[in-house]
């Protein structure tokens, strides 16, 4: 790795870390920053590892809460309802993601116009 690649990876890691904890798409910001830097990943390993780092950070921040939910799940009605709600909310996205995987990765991830449009629509929805 040359110095530019290491600097690019450092910048992308910071972008991922900062955007992971606020209500914006960290993936979209990562794609935009990578494009602006001219960063070309040699493979998908970089993207997977940088996302994995963010997921591990989130899990470590919420580890106590998650563990309490796991232990409360068998006997707490509110916890079961919450988990069921998360699963029901997740399923449509998972099904669409699997079904549209090729379009998402080949078209959406490669179009800055679509990425910007999705961020604007998502921002308006949050407002």
User: Is residue 10 classed exposed, middle or buried when 0-12, 13-18 and 19+ CB atoms within 10 A define those classes?
Assistant: exposed
pLDDT at 42: 65
39: number of Cβ within 10 Å: 18
- With b meaning 16 or more CB within 10 Å and e meaning fewer, what string describes 89-122? eeeeeeeeeeeeeeeeeeeeeeeeeebeeeeeee
> Terminal CA-to-CA distance of the chain, rounded, Å?
42
**pLDDT the model gives residue 52:** 85
pLDDT means over runs of 10, the chain (127 residues): 78 85 83 86 75 84 93 95 95 94 86 91 88
The predicted model scores a pTM of 0.70
Q: How many domains does the chain have?
A: 1
Domain limits at 13? 3-126
**CB–CB of 73/83 below 8 Å?**
yes
Q: For position 65, what pLDDT does the model report?
A: 93
pLDDT score recorded for residue 98? 95
């Amino acid at each position: 790795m040359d110095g530019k690649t290491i600097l690019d990876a450092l910048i992308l890691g910071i972008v991922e870390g900062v955007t992971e904890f606020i209500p914006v798409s960290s993936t979209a910001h990562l794609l935009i920053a990578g494009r602006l830097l001219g960063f070309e990943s040699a493979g998908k390993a970089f993207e997977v590892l940088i996302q994995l780092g963010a997921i591990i950070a989130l899990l470590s921040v919420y580890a106590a809460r998650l563990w309490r939910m796991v232990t409360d799940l068998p006997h707490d009605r509110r916890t079961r309802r919450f988990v069921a709600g998360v699963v029901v909310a997740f399923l449509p996205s998972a099904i669409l993601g699997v079904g549209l995987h090729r379009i998402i990765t080949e078209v959406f991830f490669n179009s800055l116009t679509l990425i910007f449009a999705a961020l604007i629509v998502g921002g308006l929805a949050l407002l």
